[in-house]
Every structure is written in structure tokens, then in C-alpha cells.
Structure 1
Amino acid sequence: MWTQKTIQLKARPRGFHLITREVEQALPELADLSVGLLHVFIQHTSASLTINENADPTVRVDFEEVFSRLVPENQPYYKHNDEGPDDLPAHIKSSLLGPSLTIPVTNGRLALGTWQGIYLCEHRDYGGSRRLVLTLQGE
């Protein structure tokens, strides 16, 4: 079985946001699979995806702090700055984390670890809504 859906996530502020539930809710077909893979792809260059800690919200705050220090805004050597000081840093952060995830499916559920969740990593102050392409395969 193969299925593919595009979902639109609401606009969120800069930061790391858990979206596991939204992804799962968009795919009732998950329940029909005993084994499979879910590929999640974000169709944007200034936001990214990652999997990490889903319990303690301070992890998401710390992630934002680290990435903001790692790739600071307003650097004199940036050439791409037409869309504001957060634009090029957002592209760099997006490239560091990446645009996609592949998650195993086992017995009708995402085979995430106990403390793992899917993050939307919003790297712009006002990035707007974000589109994800969800491709599910399995039997």
C-alpha cells in the first residue's frame, strides 16, 4: 500500500514545535499497516524537520538558543538579505537539520522511541504556514 498526502501546518513563531500528533492524525491509514515507512518532507527552505525529545519543553527552548548562537543574524559577510535579517540564517539552519525524515511503522504506529517526537523547526520570525508531503508505504 502506498499513499501520499500534503498537509498544511498553521503558522508558528520561530522555534522548535512538536507536530507528531498532527502528522499521525493526517494518516488514519497508519492503523492498517503491520510494517512500513513514513517519509515526511517539508516543502520550504527556511524551516526544517528533526526528531528529538518530546517530553520536556525546555529542550525545544534550548535548541532555539543554540541554533541562534550557531548561526547568528546580521553578519556583515551575508549577501542574501533581501527578505530580512532572519532569512539567510534560516536557510543555513534548514540545511543543517534537513528537509525530510523517514520513520518506521510497526503494528499500526510510528516506531518512535518513548521520548521521541517530530519537530517542525521554524527558523523565521514570520515564516507563515508550512506544507508537508507525507508518503506512507507498507503492508
Structure 2
Amino acid sequence: MPDTFTTHVLNVTTGRTETVLDLTDDCTQFLARASHGRDGLLNIFVPHATAGIAILETGAGSDDDLLTALQTLLPADDRWRHRHGTPGHGRDHVLPALVPPHATLPVLRGRLELGTWQSVCLVDTNVDNRDRQVRLSFLG
């Protein structure tokens, strides 16, 4: 009998610009190894104070729209009390209050249950730290 809890850490590089990185294929590949066709839950968690996990459409402009909205809501200027790093870096520490560092999604028969246009994405506005870890955990 396979374990009911399996976890794996993805090491990703987001680059030197704000980004929305699609992790859906990584989640699908992990579930193919971990779920053994079972129903359960997939938890995606990013253990960083300046990144989050979002479920949204990608490739049709929504990912860029999200970054634009975050730039409007959280401008990279000198208003932030948290001041180390590049100018405006304090905004990156507020990001997880708007884009949480986790998501838990249903898995049915070993497959991630997403809507037609939904993708699992890492949202990273911190240009000072491009190396990220994302923990994928399956409970089923």
C-alpha cells in the first residue's frame, strides 16, 4: 500500500523580473508519481516571505494583468517601512497578504481538479531573490 502522504520540493528560478510562473505541469507530474490514482488533496506551499501561489489563467494576458494590478496596489517606491534590498522591496513582504503562500486543491482519481482555464502559479515580485522552493504535498 503506497503512503498516504507524499511530499516533494521543487527548486525554481524566477529570474530578475517580476513573474507569474506556471507550475501546473510540475503539479501534474508530481501527482502521477505520488497519488497512485487516488483521490486526495494537493497542497502547494512556497516558504518565502515575498512570494505567493495563485490559481489563474495564464497565456492570455491574465498573468500580466495580475502583475500590473499588484504594481498598482503595491507600488515599488519609498513608502514602505521594510527598506532593505532594492527600492520598494517592502512591497514584496506585503504580497503574501494578497497572494497567499499556499493553495490546497482537490485531486480526483490521481488528477488535479482545475477548471478549464485554471493554472497553478508561483507569483514572485521580489527581484532580489530569484531562487525559490515550492513544496508539493499529496494527502490521499
TM-score by length of 1: 0.88
Please say if 1:49 is aligned against 2:53: yes
Alignment match, 1:100: 102
Rounded to whole Å, the distance in 2 between the matches of 1:46 and 1:121 is 9
Q: Please, which runs of 5 or more residues in structure 2 have no aligned partner?
A: none
Deviation at 1:30, TM superposition (A): 4.5
Please say if 1:10 is aligned against 2:5: no
Residue of structure 2 aligned with 1:60, choices 48, 63, 77? 63
Matches within 5 A, 1:100-139: 100-138=102-140
Question: Runs of 4 or more off by more than 4 Å in structure 1?
Answer: none
Give the count of matched residue pairs.
Answer: 136
Rounded to whole Å, the distance in 2 between the matches of 1:136 and 1:31 is 7
Identity of aligned residues (%): 26
Deviation at 1:54, TM superposition (A): 3.3
Root-mean-square deviation over aligned CA pairs: 1.6
Q: 1:111 to 1:84 in 2, by over 3 A?
A: same
Please say if 1:32 is aligned against 2:32: no
TM-score by length of 2: 0.88
Rounded to whole Å, the distance in 2 between the matches of 1:42 and 1:25 is 18
In structure 2, give the amino acid aligned to 1:119.
C
Deviation at 1:105, TM superposition (A): 0.3
CA contact (8 A) 1:30 1:109 kept: no
Deviation at 1:126, TM superposition (A): 3.7
